[in-house]
Structure 1
Amino acid sequence: MWTMWTMWTMWTLGTWAVLFLSDVCAQTEQRPSFTCGGNLTGETGVLGSQGYPGVYPPNTKCVWRLTVPEGRVVILSFRFIDLESDNLCRYDYVDVYSGHTSGQRLGRFCGTSRPGALVATGNKMMVQMVSDANTAGSGFLAVYSAAHPHQRGEQYCGGRLEKPTGSFKTPNWPEKDYPAGVTCSWHILAPKHQIIEVKFEKFDVERDNYCRYDHVSIFNGPEINDARRIGKFCGDSPPAPVLSEGNQLLIQFLSDLSLTADGFIAHYTFRPKKYITSTPPSVTTTQPATTRPIPLRYSAALCQQKCKKRGSLEANYCSSNFGTVITAAVRGGSMFATVSILNLYKDGGMAIQQAGKTMSTKITILCRKCPSGVRRGLSYLFMGQADEDGRGIIGPQHLVTAFKSRNQKDLSVLKTQRC
């Protein structure tokens, strides 16, 4: 026999279920409808890919322009991301820029790994999503908000720093590694007639001889300008203290889409200008002392060597600074060739041209007899060096071999390992 308590409990549960369903229906009715791009203003807001959480349409380019009140900076946080995955984000991707036009790109994102919070240097930000004709996903959902740069800039990835002293650090520091695929820019602004000193307390950024992948760049002034770059740093040794020439510095941290590390924390202090003459500066005013690749040139002695035809993939992969599978047409003699890239395992600073999904690069073949037997339309694995102009260089000591499907697995494993 049911007791009054049992009947009351069932009625209560039934009522709760009705209320819960009503609440869900109300939320469903209020769910925003996301369109392809738009202009968003205000203290905070939400943006999402077209049709989110449904599958985004193919062959689209959507642009959102975000504006928060003057004197604030825009902070963008991804709540969800699901785009076609690719190591280079060549197909479907989201680009985030500081500013509305011709701004600095803060990062390119794809796959399902959410980046850390992104901070513009001002009150404007642009988000652009591009999709191709093939694989799609659920897209993305992000929230933007306005922040006071002098109060909150240190807590996020980038921002404007104007206090006399302060700190900045990579996202997730010190709990875990910084995320892949982010760009952070800190603009430090001191009063006129003062300079800025920066000291890195802890530093651990993916190591590479030329800092081509993850790195920190420091520039005199408020913008990225290679002519005014103080240094480019990576590895696990903290850079020497840095002194600015004037009252502004820009620090940019970039991580690519592969390996990550602990990151860094740094501290800055405003100094009087006379500090430069009264204290011997310890900063290197050029790029850090890393060994640049020696440009290879044709020589009779070089081309008397035998062509390299054997050796393990691992040994050749680590001794070369690029590795790529190409379809090529190479004719005898020292020559320049434009080749189509099928797979890229490391670029070594090569200049890559891209039109849609088609990538190409320029390669110089130094010696008449090496490589030999390369035929048009077949696929080959090239491992060589890249010069300062981004052109691949192939000499007799480099490996050029026909690409076989069994190589794919070995190369994919090598790509994730340190040499």
Structure 2
Amino acid sequence: MKVQVCIIGGGPSGLLLSQLLHLKGIDTIVLEKHSREHVLARIRAGVLEHGFAALMREARCGERMDREGEIHEGFFIAHDGVMDRVDLHKHSGGSSVVVYGQTELTRDLYEARDRMDGKVVHDAADVTPHDLKSDAPYVTYRDGDRIVRVDCDFVIGADGFHGVSRKSIPKEILREHERVYPFGWLGVLSRTKPVSPELIYSRHERGFALCSLRSQVLSRYYIQVPLTDKVEDWSDEAFWDELKRRLPADVAASLITGPSIEKSIAPLRSFVAEPMRYGRLFLAGDAAHIVPPTGARGLNSAASDIYYLYHAMVDHYEKGDDAGLDDYSRKALARVWKAQRFSWWMTTMLHRFPDSGSYEAKLQETELEYLFSSEKALGSLAENYVGLPF
């Protein structure tokens, strides 16, 4: 089999790039090691930067997002028993974010690929890139007892943190930067009316909490927990009781509880791999970088990678111009590190660290006091939250 671009990973990043390139007449194949049902069962964040939303529309996949997504022009930070609102629309110069579940976004991308007869292979086992430094790379995968070879011009590694793509870069070339946080997020999805029309980030002495939503009838809530905790340690009742303790009294009193549809614990880490290009291999999304979910930069950072790759590939095939490909790693990493900085700042400002004392607690209080006393500080937060320019 011969295609122009072979994409490893059938999550939103790989599917979005495949869809965008297809619309420009560039032939792609997506190789996903899991079934479609498995991919669509993943519960992930759903706050989309305005740039990501625009990219979905360009890919002709934004109709349901625009119809069902929640436009948010602000969010709340709860602290010391009070709620302060960050007015994104005001402080970012008129921008906003779209709250739309990643599962639904991925479903829209799959359906778009189906409509265009896009090549998406599921249950592709033992995916392996070859000859990445040559002008003729190829990828092999196992389909039952058969080994399938895909010849291509470029390989895109959009297969996540544990995927094969990053591991294909020699250790003497790859540089990895990582910080593992000493806590995780216990998340609960419930078919209940959200406690707030906008997100609430809560800093509390017992730990961080977040009130989020997927729709007006589907809520997503999180609390900070030790890494030693297991999902089995937390009954629904215990979760709701602890969440209420970490919210302002009036918010807790109006919280509607119900049985959990899904419950999981996600450890928090910050991670960046450099470079994001090796020969004809280009990394994108979680294959190259991960952020804590605080501030919702993960999926949005992946979208900026796809934006740069999409335009670089179009320039290569339509104009014979490789400047975008040659500069991809530098340009993508420049934006990735800004997202890392913002996510790290939000995480350290709002979470309780096990080894912190009164000094660190006072600094967190002061950071919040300064934030809501300064128009410029609020402007910086809003600019990063709605998304820096691609």
Same fold per superposition (TM over 0.5): no
TM-score interval, normalised by the smaller of the two chains: under 0.3
Instruction: Name the structure where strand makes up a greater proportion of residues.
Output: 1
TM-score of the superposed pair, with normalisation by structure 2: 0.22
TM-score, length-normalised on structure 1? Answer: 0.21
Higher helix share: 2
Rg (Cα) greater in structure = 1
